[in-house]
Amino acid sequence: DGGITQSPKYLFRKEGQNVTLSCEQNLNHDAMYWYRQDPGQGLRLIYYSQIVNDFQKGDIAEGYSVSREKKESFPLTVTSAQKNPTAFYLCASSMFPNTGELFFGEGSRLTVL
């Protein structure tokens, strides 16, 4: 099945720890995105990448980092510098040139204890 796989689905971490969320796609899409979803706030863009080895900050990049070493993979690291990391994280991809239509994974829910 073609799609986007995010793991883990649920993750707990202690304050001060970094954690990495995985996102893999087999849609052969060039562009990949990370969004954060909070109740009542919609989706906010963290980072995006149009091509391998290149990525750009979104609206709320502080406290996060990404890498894009392979076309199909776009992991997100939530660092200890992120002040409010408990959230639902969504990975998405799209074809390039970008028409805007995004395909989403099922999300990863991070809870900081």
Binding residues (CB under 8 A) for another protein: these are: 31, 33, 35, 40-45, 48, 50, 56, 58, 90, 92, 94, 98-102, 104-107
User: Measured from the CB atom, is 58 or 63 closer to another protein?
Assistant: 58
Closest to another protein by CB, 48 vs 64, is: 48
Q: Where are the beta strands (DSSP E) in the chain?
A: 4-7, 10-13, 19-25, 31-38, 42-51, 54-57, 64-66, 76-78, 87-94, 103-104, 108-112
CB of 106 to another protein, least distance (A): 4
Q: In Å, what is the CA distance from 34 to each residue of 14, 31, 39, 113?
A: 22, 11, 17, 23
* Residue nearer to another protein on the CB measure, 85 or 105: 105
CB of 17 to another protein, least distance (A): 27
Residue 20 Cβ vs another protein, minimum distance, rounded to whole Å: 20
Residues in contact with 66: Cβ distance below 8 Å, sequence separation at least 6, in sequence order = 34, 46, 47, 49, 55, 74, 75, 76, 77
Q: Which residues, in sequence order, are bridge partners of residue 19? A: 78
Give the nearer residue to another protein in terms of CB position, either 19 or 91.
91
Q: Please, what is the minimum distance in Å from the beta carbon of residue 103 to another protein? A: 8
